[in-house]
Structure 1
Amino acid sequence: MYLSFIFILIVFGSVVESQKWINSHPCDRPCYENGPRMECFFSLVATFSRTFNPTKCGNCPTNVSDCSRPGCAVGDGSVRPLFLVNEMFPGPEIRVCENDIVTVNVTNMLLSVESLTIHWHGIHHLKTPFMDGTPLVSQCDILLGSTFQYKFEAYPPGTKFWHAHAALLRDQGIAGSFLIRNKFRKSGPRYVSFENDRNRLALVQDWTASLTPPYFVRNTMPTVASLVVNGRQGDFEASSPPSYFVFRPFGQKPYLRVISNGFLFCPISLSIEGHRMTVVEGDNFPFRPVTVDKLYIFAAERFDVFLEPTDPNPIVQAGNSNQDLVFSMSWIGDGVCRNASAGYVGNATSYLIYTRNDDITLEEATALMLAKQTQDKSSNKFLTYANSDLAPRPGEKVFNPVHKADYNTNPAYVRLTDLRALKFELQKPINNPRYRFYLFTDSFIGNGLPNINNISFTHPSFPLLTQFEQIPSSEFCTIERNPECSTKICNCINMYPVALNNVVEIVIVDEGNNLRNDVHSFHLHGYAFAVLGQERLASKTTIEEIKRRDRQGLLKRNFQSPVYKDTVAVPEGGYVILRFLADNPGFWMFHCHLGFHLMGGMSIMFQIGEYEEMVRAPPSFPKCGTWIADEVDL
């Protein structure tokens, strides 16, 4: 009877059972226009563990299949602590259809003092701002041993990820891919077949040699040991079997969704042997396709690409024979991931496999990759520091290299401002901004401390969205209202009120005084923005110089179908110009997505609308905050 009951629920698209292993979830299905809406239940349990846990990993990596056992994390092949979600690293992928109802039970079993919240990166929460997952903004922390249930509509569609937003947990394992498939017409121009879009999520991040909190406390930089793609560095000799992506050699061109869970300043490039890439979407939003040889991605960005085989065409080769073809996917880190004096470069290798075999086994794929990697190493084609060339070769096109000194001028580069958005549902009027906020980072006064406008963001004593009336006014400030912050670093809630349904322009400037020459990757919660301008002026600049140029009409703004994103990299010694229509009331954070910078206070808060205009949390929603024992009579 139980099985029949579940079958009926699935058929009618009402409620589906949660499953421990989300990869087989019934909500992972083809999505069509006018298709049924489903209510999708998931459970995420966060625990503390280590790579190569001897009680979980069996004979991994000697027996490669043991590396995929529940609770076995590989990383770069070295032993170190980390966090797991559902005994997986990275955490499980969530795949649903546009407008599904997503319900997720998140349980904190970290067995430490760590608190936890989960942010659904790229979800706008139009009806549920209290589900954004920002600690002491939209909710209280999830404490040890407790469970919080998130519930929200899967919108807007596109490539996203979920990650911890409290403490330094995101880079240590508490993150996972999140895909909301579009409900396109089956023959529409942006339609991607379900089979071509299964298991095609590549979550890449920088990987440190140890846990990062001690480095944050000491204000020092951890060593980047490597990159990992879906939890693997990909060098068999280093005990890290690679991640791989399997495509059948007919039908649509291979489609790959690339997600950066980057933590430090480590721009990551992707190039694929025997292929070019046609980039079609960024952070959920489509633009006119552009074909490139190398793609750079910064922390928290997402890009969708079609893989374009070059001659000889491997799709034709594999399709006309029973031969399986394997191509290397090279991931190379720059910034702090590249250290010439140490003789290494943060890198990872994964593989693209073309096969007619619908049921290729892990053992068969491993044999193909091992043979390929052995051959590449013998011919010096495998990635090493010595042979990894980060500069574009003649004729190459390179996408999004914001950190390069010649970003504005090199004709080989494809910049965000070169892109032209295609029409999509969330495009809004962005003319005639009522608000223009000039924000600056890496000021001389800041002396390397994370801040915006000389203010290091401090979390409130109570959650803004649910207990706003309990927060003392003394906790808020801005550089405009607090002139003392012009000459020193202030610590407060740096909040900017915005009246509902007005256009906001943000001009954010990196003055270039950071000791490590970081390029900051900024994310706006609750919204997407149009990228009107992005330019590097010099190694250093000032907010006064930017304002002067703006008064003189020297800041470049593109109004011809500007690309939309929710995360953007700010060039060192340069600026970006963003606009959005403030039509989603709530408290929405705008912050640098580099882990130490977020924890250190490189954030501001937008209050969109009056408190009375915001969607309120249910009466039983958890509350927390400062408590004074006035009522205790001793």
Structure 2
Amino acid sequence: MSSKLSIILLELFLLCYTADAATYFADGRDCKRNCEWPYEPAICRFNFTVELYYSMSKACYDCPFNMTDCDSQDCVPLNGVGRAILTVNRQFPGPKIEVCEGDSIEVAVTNHLSNAEGTSIHWHGVHVRNRQYMDGVSMLTQCPIPSYASFLYSLEVHPVGTHWWHGHSGMHRSDGIFGALIVRQAPSRDANYLLYDYDLSEHIMLVHDWLDQITVVKFSAHHHDDGSNKPESVLINGKGKRQEQTNDQGQTKFTPRETFRVKKGFRYRFRSISNAITNCPLKISIDNHTMLIISSDGAPTEPVKVDAFVIYGGERFDFVLNANQTIDNYWVRVKGLADCNSVQELAILQYEGAVYENPHLSETTDREGTILNPFNTPATDENIAIVELNAIEDIEEPEDQALLQQEPDHKFYIAMDFNKVNNYHFHHPEYYPIEEIDRSHHLYSKQRNLTRKLERAIKKDTVIVPDGGYTIIRFHATNPGWWLFHCHLEFHVEIGMALVIHVGNDSDLPKIPENFPRCGSWPQSTSPTTKPTDNTPSTSPIASEINMMFILFCVFFAVIHA
């Protein structure tokens, strides 16, 4: 028997053994457990029902005058503003997925959205290997899930770290289809494990900008009229203080803010995730405390102590908070920058033993000091650029030597700007050309180069490109498939700031699952003279989807203004 055949048989044996040995959890919440090494794989089942819902609905009863009602079944108070939202299982943010290294997830998504909208779920940060059809990008790796239909996602969640899931059809994630996806590992596998005592679910922090109306309304007003593209507020774990409520007795009260609880003398790992949808960098700080950054986008970094950090849409930062201050309450500040510079939100860090009340410091104080990932600011001793972080070699994935070679195999230059062009979707060159429409949304600044480094460069899946600057991204193309590379500002990707990276050939892909949904135009050709016949050659689902994406990019890529 050849050595190559022996290796193949061994791999097949290990695959079968792993599948047989995996524990099946019908309720995926039971997969949240102490992680072991060697890992004990599990298959974790989750059921997601996506639907159109409403904040401050009748399910909230007497919230916020009776705070217990704010936590009642199906109550989504948000910041007190009643508006249409999209939810998964009537939760906001959606259900947390917390699993261990080596686990796989099955997520049955049932679409109960109104207006016959299709939907899909993307697993941001997960390397979808050998499950390319499960990436969840509508019209690229799958058709949108039709109204009142379901789709079963099945994939191994790799690599470990802080990730998240979100809707990837239209602007669904902007209105509430998103949640945390945490992949933990055994302590012996965690490079920074000795730096903290607790890694708790309640210290997951999802932050994002928020609109007072459903996103498509604001998008339409912005692109077809003179509507604003600025958010009205910020939410922390779906909570905030914006619209005061009045009851029948004339009493007034605000909805509750988020609270993070700690005990003096212990160190806590916080996992922050940004679901920002507009040009909304968020500056996070905690009064009287510093933060020890230990990870970004799921990848471990050398620890860096900071007073604040800036997080952009799609990014994640893990930090350690040392609860070493006087027993009291402290503000957790999430301050908007750029297009969000007029909004902020606060949460409360409450020490065990402290009487629950608002902290004493002003709500409007802006934390100064050492800041990681600053917004459009050159690197200094106090402004640490993201490229200055150093990676810690991952035990699971040793440094890929191909990434360290001086010259890559291929180079691609992708340039963009918000130029004045008459995109026919938003401006008509004869009747209302852009030159005659008053706009002041063009942003230009002096170019600031980023430091280029090959050794110990951090692994990122989301990065901000500085205004007037550039970012160099290097990756080893080892995962065949069709992958969407796009801006994570929702208004930008919706008008075409995206492209497809094609790795390998169709022959490199796994077999298309049996009866996998197909989508595309009918008839296949856009020519009105073409008629389908029984012997019309069949087009693969992938080809149909890519053709559709190409058409969409041609239609929308003429961007107009920020």
Map 1:199-238 onto structure 2 (within 5 A): 199-218=202-221, 219=223, 220-234=227-241
Match of residue 314, structure 2, among 292, 295, 300: 300
Whole-Å separation in 2 of the counterparts to 1:574 and 1:447? 25
Whole-Å separation in 1 of the counterparts to 2:63 and 2:113? 24
Match of residue 240, structure 1, among 242, 255, 264: 255
Whole-Å separation in 1 of the counterparts to 2:318 and 2:231? 26
Greater mean deviation of Cα atoms: 123-132 or 419-428: 419-428
CA contact (8 A) 1:585 1:615 kept: no
Match of residue 88, structure 1, among 91, 94, 114: 91
Whole-Å separation in 2 of the counterparts to 1:306 and 1:578? 28
Alignment correspondent of 2:391: 421
| Offset at residue 614 of structure 1 (A) | 1.8
| Offset at residue 173 of structure 1 (A) | 0.7
Alignment correspondent of 1:457: none
Match of residue 445, structure 2, among 516, 539, 544: 539
Which protein is richer in strand relative to its size?
1
TM-score, structure 1 as length reference: 0.71
Paired positions, count = 477
CA contact (8 A) 1:399 1:414 kept: yes
| Offset at residue 540 of structure 1 (A) | 5.4
CA contact (8 A) 1:32 1:186 kept: no
Whole-Å separation in 1 of the counterparts to 2:228 and 2:174? 14
**2:235 is the alignment partner of 1:262:** no
Say which SS state the counterpart of residue 217 (structure 2) adopts.
Answer: helix
**2:51 is the alignment partner of 1:149:** no
Alignment correspondent of 1:608: 503
CA separation of 1:193 and 1:355: change in aligned 2, threshold 3 A: same
Say which SS state the counterpart of residue 255 (structure 2) adopts.
Answer: coil
Whole-Å separation in 2 of the counterparts to 1:304 and 1:421? 14
Map 1:86-485 onto structure 2 (within 5 A): 86-185=89-188, 189-190=192-193, 195-218=198-221, 219=223, 220-234=227-241, 239-251=254-266, 253-309=267-323, 313-314=324-325, 318=327, 325-338=328-341, 345-355=342-352, 368-369=355-356, 371-373=357-359, 376=360, 381-383=361-363, 387-389=364-366, 393=368, 396-401=369-374, 403-404=375-376, 407-424=377-394, 425-426=396-397, 427-428=399-400, 429-430=402-403, 431=405, 432-444=407-419
| Offset at residue 447 of structure 1 (A) | 7.5
Alignment correspondent of 2:24: 15
CA contact (8 A) 1:212 1:222 kept: no
Say which SS state the counterpart of residue 372 (structure 1) adopts.
Answer: coil
CA separation of 1:189 and 1:174: change in aligned 2, threshold 3 A: closer
CA separation of 1:97 and 1:194: change in aligned 2, threshold 3 A: farther
Say which SS state the counterpart of residue 439 (structure 1) adopts.
Answer: coil
User: Which whole-Å deviations, capped at 9, do the CAs of 1:485-528 have from their partners, x for residues lacking one?
Assistant: xxxxxxxxxxxxxxxxxxxxxxxxxxxxx95467xxxxxxxxxx
| Offset at residue 40 of structure 1 (A) | 0.4
Say which SS state the counterpart of residue 143 (structure 2) adopts.
Answer: coil
CA contact (8 A) 2:196 2:268 kept: no
Whole-Å separation in 1 of the counterparts to 2:190 and 2:382? 34
Alignment correspondent of 2:5: none
CA contact (8 A) 2:79 2:243 kept: no
CA contact (8 A) 2:192 2:300 kept: no
CA contact (8 A) 2:195 2:320 kept: no
Which amino acid is 2:348 matched to?
Y
Say which SS state the counterpart of residue 513 (structure 2) adopts.
Answer: coil
Whole-Å separation in 1 of the counterparts to 2:220 and 2:150? 28
User: Which whole-Å deviations, capped at 9, do the CAs of 1:138-157 have from their partners, x for residues lacking one?
Assistant: 11100110100000001101
Say which SS state the counterpart of residue 467 (structure 2) adopts.
Answer: coil
Whole-Å separation in 2 of the counterparts to 1:346 and 1:330? 11
CA contact (8 A) 1:164 1:174 kept: yes
Map 1:4-83 onto structure 2 (within 5 A): 14-18=23-27, 25-54=29-58, 56-83=59-86
| Offset at residue 257 of structure 1 (A) | 0.4
Say which SS state the counterpart of residue 598 (structure 1) adopts.
Answer: helix
Whole-Å separation in 1 of the counterparts to 2:162 and 2:186? 14
Match of residue 479, structure 2, among 565, 574, 584: 584
CA contact (8 A) 1:236 1:242 kept: no
Alignment correspondent of 1:574: 469
CA contact (8 A) 2:296 2:316 kept: yes
| Offset at residue 109 of structure 1 (A) | 0.5
Say which SS state the counterpart of residue 576 (structure 1) adopts.
Answer: coil
User: Which whole-Å deviations, capped at 9, do the CAs of 1:100-148 have from their partners, x for residues lacking one?
Assistant: 1100001110112321000000011112111000011111100110100
| Offset at residue 188 of structure 1 (A) | 6.0
**Stretches of structure 2 lacking an aligned partner (at least 5 in a row):** 1-20, 245-252, 426-438, 524-530, 535-562
CA separation of 1:216 and 1:113: change in aligned 2, threshold 3 A: farther
CA contact (8 A) 2:264 2:351 kept: yes
CA contact (8 A) 2:165 2:180 kept: yes
TM-score, structure 2 as length reference: 0.80
Whole-Å separation in 2 of the counterparts to 1:222 and 1:205? 15
CA contact (8 A) 1:269 1:294 kept: yes
CA separation of 1:581 and 1:108: change in aligned 2, threshold 3 A: same
| Offset at residue 187 of structure 1 (A) | 8.7
Whole-Å separation in 1 of the counterparts to 2:143 and 2:460? 28
Whole-Å separation in 1 of the counterparts to 2:478 and 2:281? 32
Say which SS state the counterpart of residue 596 (structure 1) adopts.
Answer: helix
Whole-Å separation in 2 of the counterparts to 1:61 and 1:110? 28
CA contact (8 A) 1:171 1:205 kept: no
- The runs of at least 4 aligned residues of structure 1 exceeding 4 Å deviation read 186-189, 191-195, 234-238, 445-450
Whole-Å separation in 2 of the counterparts to 1:409 and 1:53? 47
CA separation of 1:52 and 1:62: change in aligned 2, threshold 3 A: same
Whole-Å separation in 2 of the counterparts to 1:446 and 1:102? 45
